Amino acid sequence: MTASKRPGRKAALRAVAASLEAAERWELRLYVAGQTPRSLAALANLTKICETHLQGKYRIEVVDLLANPELARADEIVALPTLIRKLPPPVKRIIGDLSNRERVLVGMELVAEP
């Protein structure tokens, strides 16, 4: 990366940080299938990310589709685990155990794309 590209990225990160400050609450819904290792990893990874980047500004709702399979239809869930960012708009989706931290941060728009 050249030095000329860095100021643009820094400006984008500042803009994202400013929008995070303006956002009062993040509503996240994590769809899982029971207490599987992937489901537990997704919740642990999501919690770590939220505690690092959204301290006190988030709510995670965990939806277990083994207990409530009918809830999959509302958010058109096709794979598990799936994270849905309800607020702030627009709605965002990330499928998987959320172990790829950079992908999750970009997908949730917590950082600008590299």
Distance separating alpha carbons of residues 34 and 97, to the nearest angstrom: 13
In the chain, how many domains are there? 1
Residues comprising the chain, all counted: 114
In a domain, 96, yes or no: yes
In a domain, 1, yes or no: no
In a domain, 18, yes or no: yes
Average pLDDT, the chain: 87
In a domain, 41, yes or no: yes
- Give me the residues paired with residue 58 across strands: 26
61, two tokens:
């709702």
Domain that holds residue 16: 6-107
The region of weakest confidence among 14-18, 50-54, 77-81, 103-107 is 14-18
In a domain, 45, yes or no: yes
Domain with residue 98: its CATH number is 3.40.30.10
Q: Residue 20's CB: how many other CB atoms inside 10 A?
A: 16
Residue 37's H or E segment, with its range, is helix 37-53
In a domain, 65, yes or no: yes
User: Tell me, what's the pLDDT at 1?
Assistant: 47
Reported as a single tens digit per residue, the pLDDT across 24-44 is 799 999 999 999 999 999 999
- The verdict on whether omega for the bond into residue 37 sits within 30 degrees of 0, i.e. cis, is no
